[in-house]
Copies of this chain bind each other. A is one copy, B any other.
């Protein structure tokens, strides 16, 4: 099956562009035809090597394509499905990269001819960045890539493709997908935003934020995400998200009651149960944001320390994905937090720093 002779990517932003680059870099496609509502974006995509050819219309792009990828937001994907359906080649496989799956699956069932097949896709590897200039051939590496559909030759082909892209395919129904991401991804974003807004609503915001330790920072970091993207996600997964918000509100009022009643045993059991569940989060896998492996470096604060630590790791060829000097310590960790993309990099960094006489500690994850 591989390389595919011709793949059409409709929408050449960061996600579509990354897929094009990945297909070409890994020799999974000979020709990648790009289409975008913005003609300049397609030209740019061709210039940066995300596609091999530019098409002026969706119809032109999908003609003779074995695989068609919808790399646009949900509403646009539903429109494009209807628009391009008459021009698909017999035997064509259509997939998408949308962050919710029920609506686009329904549109595909209604719009596609019998000779074409649809398998939904959601690579859980987003970015706050937009546009083809932010596209990366390695975006899908080690990322969970959800596929929706029932057992079929086309589903098997998509699983194969995801493996070849370096991703980790996970199969479920569109409804399962939308419900699960509402709980594990969309709800936490909303509660993080609500937490920030609660603090902002108290007045004395600057004073309060200056007291923010690791707890507040961690639990609200996701609120730094792109407002437009999260707005779209909320709207496209509205019903599931409302269900999750209501369940969260119920649980919140349960814990409020434990506090109001000063129920020591109840609170202890509640926190213990929450900790036990949280400890079950698997070590591997990454979702909408990359998981980082954190290392705390415990050293007295002195001039040159940061340069010393980063210099040692640079000499060792180790890439620091995130670095944070913690002014406010809260219950865990030391003054300098280093984040790494892999556990191996974290461990190698730990060894280098220990050899240099620094005390380090891996963050419990």
A-side residues, CB < 8 A to B, are: 124-129, 134, 136, 138-139, 141-144, 146, 166, 168, 170, 179-181, 183-185, 187-202, 204-225, 227-231, 234-235, 238, 241-242, 244-249, 251-253, 255-256, 258-260, 262, 264, 267-268, 270-275, 277-292, 298-308, 310-315, 317-333, 335, 341, 364-365
Contacts and interface: CB of A to CB of B under 8 A. Distances in A.
Q: Please classify the interface of chain A as helix (H, G, I), strand (E, B), loop, or mixed, using the class held by over half of its residues.
A: helix
A278 B327 contact: no
A257 to B, nearest CB: 10
A124 B329 contact: yes
Given A141-B301, A209-B285, A286-B206, A187 B180 contact: no
A200 B317 CA distance: 38
Given A180-B208, A231-B267, A314-B306, A259 B277 contact: no
A58 to B, nearest CB: 25
A251 B197 contact: yes
16 contacts: A139-B329, A143-B327, A144-B213, A166-B301, A197-B277, A198-B247, A198-B251, A206-B285, A207-B287, A225-B271, A227-B272, A230-B267, A245-B259, A306-B314, A306-B323, A323-B323
A302 to B, nearest CB: 7
B251 A292 contact: no
Contact of A285 (B211, B218, B242, B315): B211
Contact of A275 (B207, B225, B286): B225
Given A139-B329, A230-B271, A323-B323, 6 more contacts: A144-B210, A196-B277, A198-B248, A205-B280, A212-B282, A301-B319
B319 A302 contact: yes
Contacts of A327: 142-144, 168, 221, 224, 284, 289, 322
A192 B188 CA distance: 9
A302 B141 CA distance: 10
Contacts of A249: 249, 252-253, 256
Q: Lowest 3 A-B CB distances belong to which pairs?
A: A213-B287, A214-B289, A304-B314
Nearest to A261: B238
A262 B278 contact: no
Contact of A184 (B129, B199, B282, B287): B199
A78 to B, nearest CB: 16
Contacts of A231: 264, 267-268, 271
Contacts of A244: 198
Contacts of A303: 313-314, 317-319
A197 B271 CA distance: 9
B227 A329 contact: no
Nearest to A290: B330
A214 B181 CA distance: 13
A225 to B, nearest CB: 6
B268 A227 contact: yes
A127 B247 CA distance: 31
A211 B199 contact: no
Given A219-B191, A271-B230, A214 B290 contact: yes
Contacts of A245: 252, 255-256, 259
A202 B248 CA distance: 11
Contact of A332 (B127, B238, B365): B127
A267 to B, nearest CB: 4
Contact of A227 (B188, B214, B275, B291): B275
A75 B283 CA distance: 38
